[in-house]
Amino acid sequence: MAAVQDSAVAIGAGARGRPAAQGRFAALWTKHGAGYMFLLPWLVGFFGLTLGPAVASLYLSFTSFDLIRSPEWVGTANYVRIATADPKFAASLKVTFLYVVLSVPFKLAFALFVAILLDRGVKGLTVYRAIFYLPSLLGGSVAIAVLWRQLFAGDGLINSLLAQFGIEGPSWISHPDYSIWTLVVLSVWQFGSPMIIFLAGLRQIPTDMYEAASLDGASKFRQFYKITLPLLTPVIFFNAVVQTIEAFKAFTPAFIISGGTGGPINSTLFYTLYLYQEAFGNFRMGYASALAWILVLIIGLFTAFSFLTSRYWVHYDD
Amino acid sequence: MTDATMSSITAPPPPPAGRRSPLGSVLIHTGLIAASIAMLYPLLWMLSASVRPEDEIFASTTLWPSSVDFASYVRGWFGLDVSFGRFTWNSLVIAVLTVAGNVIACSLAAYAFARLRFAGRNFWFAMMLGTMMIPYHVTLIPQYVLFLDLGWVNTILPLVVPKFLASDAFFIFLMVQFFRGIPRELDEAAMMDGCGPWRIYWKIMLPLSLPVLATAAIFSFIWTWDDFFGPLIYLNDMNTYTIQLGLRTFVDSSSTSDWGGLFAMSTLSLVPVFFFFLFFQRLLIEGIATTGMKR
């Protein structure tokens, strides 16, 4: 393929009558220059907005920096303080882990369950699929967070509904034991996009496998356990990794529902919210940079761990 | 997406012959309809709260308002020192520019990665994939310092300029995948006819890639419209606020007073997303299904 394309370029150049004497540079330009021209905006962004800032952020994480005076080198002091003397860091890490551990499995289980219901020839599939996907699309906006805050308020809709069954609900948002659950429910409500990926995955499983299994007398449950689940593991793995990383990065709902505080008693202090408070509330830019790098480390470790363990349970057919 | 590349994954295969009993079918539909109602209930409740008389908002859990009254919309629209018209306009400008930036810059880079052969291509491609893994928090603070030094804070530039530098690597990846599916014979024939890479990009790749460009454009619009974090950091003057910041200010300033106005403005802020969803639902769902876009 390469040879074909290169000779095509050569023919093209020849056809435009470029003198051979311009030689090597022109040839190199034709071969490589165009690639870099197309890549130029991205390259500028990569160096100016990603690589440069990443290096700067690593440097800042070893400094004390308040935006006004220039950064002052403090060695590993930020990291030492994070590890040993910052109860808010510990609290935010705990809240974030709790959120990940509660929201991701529930969300994926819902998504898979509904996808399986929809997969096997339900009439009106496209309508159901659209309805279940809609919240995923709207979910990131402030309006939904505002709505949620109202639904779960002490005199909100959820408690009015519970009251009709004679249950007296707590004030979900302002009680530290329950506040995280409102955020978990909001996250699970947005199970639409993993559901669609599950649906696409289910479509890939050849129906004749089920027919063969039926002929052999395998029950529906056994078919699910022995065919659907194993063949779906790559999709489950993908969804789990993506949703977990997203959950680690969640910000807007916690910010809006707690009014930016992460309260009550730090019970909704997501890691990213704490990072935001340190950077843009207290202007501790160096400290916040260290927090950012720890987040990278956590996500990196989690991802590496997922990929390492995946070989034991993710089933790749080919 | 073109039928050729996508249908194998997303188009429904003929449903397996009805092995399900009528009873099972009724049960499944009952369950799905109940779930659909539960999913939509909060949204419909907000819509209905926005047109209810103020004293009725929290009085009932039913969805049907006793009378329809758009006063909340008027109160909400003018409820802050700066009107929601201004916020909407700001959001619109940012979103439209973001769409343009993402489509132009990402498609240029994607064409280079998918089709051009040049020294270091694989290396840069790996770097591009790498940037997708990095959470934005790492670059956040130095970027902020950079834009602050440039005097760009309180303008839309920090939110828009990066998009023209293809900072949403995710869309590059999406387009590379699509471009690779376009037959190479087309480029080769064009090259034989003397087309350079620019003309091939412009006359062949882009016209054939409208589905993926549209998907990227629509997701760009929706995500930018919904974005809260970027504007929160870069826009501090109320005249520059986006609709999301306006809503948040509304919550803070009217914490218990004007619920009707708050729900009215919340509803309005969802309208563009909802319409995109209505018209491009298939495109959006295929985009998710084939690439696993988050959210």
SS (H, E, C) A240-268: HHHHHHHHHCCCHHHHHHCCCCCCCCCCC
Q: Are A178 and A170 in contact (CB under 8 A)?
A: yes
pLDDT in tens, A170-220: 888 888 888 899 999 999 999 999 999 999 999 888 888 888 888 888 888
Q: Answer whether A49 sits within 8 Å of B165, measured CB to CB.
A: yes
CA separation for the pair A204, A228 (Å, rounded): 10
Domain-located, residue B39: yes
Looking at residue B20, its pLDDT comes to 63
Contact list, A54 vs chain B (CB under 8 Å):
134, 138-139, 142
Task: Give the residue-averaged pLDDT of A37-59.
Answer: 96
Q: Which residue of B has its CA nearest to A49?
A: B143
B1 occurs within a structural domain: no
DSSP run (H or E) holding B8: helix B3-10
**What is the pTM (predicted TM-score) of this model?**
0.88
d(CA A285, CA A59): 11
Cis peptide before B16 (omega within 30 of 0): no
Give which of B10, B33, B107, B137 to mutate to test A binding, by max A Cβ within 10 Å.
B137
* Residues A134, A122: Cα–Cα separation, whole Å: 19
Kindly give the parts of chain B with pLDDT less than 50.
1-18, 295
Helix runs in chain A, H state only: 2-15, 23-28, 34-45, 52-60, 77-84, 87-119, 125-138, 142-151, 157-164, 179-189, 192-203, 207-215, 220-223, 229-248, 252-257, 271-276, 285-313
Q: Answer whether A248's CB lies under 8 Å from A100's CB.
A: yes
Separation between Cα atoms, residue B115 and residue A277, nearest integer Å: 44
In a domain, B10, yes or no: no
Same domain, B89 and B183: yes
| Cα angle: A242, vertex A243, A248; to 5 degrees | 100
Tokens of A126: 């496209």
Alpha-carbon distance values, A15 to A33, B185, B199 (Å)? 19, 19, 16
Mean pLDDT (chain B, rounded) = 87
Among B111, B167, B293, the residue with its CB nearest the CB of A45 is B167
pLDDT for residue A249 is more than 80: yes
Stretch (H or E) spanning B108: helix B84-115
Quick one: B41 and B62 in the same domain? yes
CATH code, B287: 1.10.3720.10
- B135 contacts in A (CB within 8 Å)? 245, 248-249, 292, 295-296, 299
Residue of A nearest to B195 (CA): A12
Domain boundary among B53, B69, B85: B69
B-chain residues near A40 (CB < 8 A) = 108
Residue B140's closest CA among B219, B234, B236, B222?
Answer: B234
Q: Please provide the CATH number assigned to the domain covering A90-311.
A: 1.10.3720.10
Domain parsing of chain A, residue ranges: 90-311
Cα distances (angstroms) measured from residue A116 to each of A87, A134, A200, A210, A242: 44, 19, 11, 14, 20
Domain containing residue B29: 19-69
pLDDT higher for A39 or A315? A39
Residue among B28, B135, B194 minimizing CB distance to A296:
B135
- Look at residue B6 and tell me if it is in a domain: no
A vs B, Cβ pairs < 8 A, gives: 293
Interface confidence: ipTM more than 0.90? no
The Cα–Cα gap between A198 and A192 comes to 10
Query: pLDDT (tens digit, 9 = 90+) per residue, B33-63?
Result: 999 999 999 999 899 988 888 777 776 677 7
Residue of B nearest to A199 (CA): B289
Strand stretches in B30-143, DSSP E: none
Question: Angle B229-B234-B235 (CA atoms, 0-180°, nearest 5)?
Answer: 100
At residue A64, φ and ψ (nearest 5 deg) are -110, 125
Count of the separate structural domains present in chain B: 2
Give the pLDDT confidence of A283-298 residue by residue, as tens digits.
Answer: 999 999 999 999 999 9
Give the whole-angstrom CA distance, residue B263 versus residue B256. 12
A229 CA to chain B: closest CA distance, Å? 18
Q: Does B58 share its domain with B121?
A: no
**8 Å CB contact of A41 and B141:** no
Dist CA A29 CA B198 (whole Å): 14
User: Which residue in the set A34, A147, A252 is minimally distant from B266, CB to CB?
Assistant: A147
Across all residues in chain A, what is the average pLDDT? 87
Asked whether residue B168 is assigned to any structural domain, the reply reads: yes
Inter-axis angle of helices B3-10 and B259-291, nearest 10:
100
Same domain, B176 and B105: yes
Distance CA A39, CA A34 (A): 9
On whether residue B132 sits in a domain, the answer given is yes
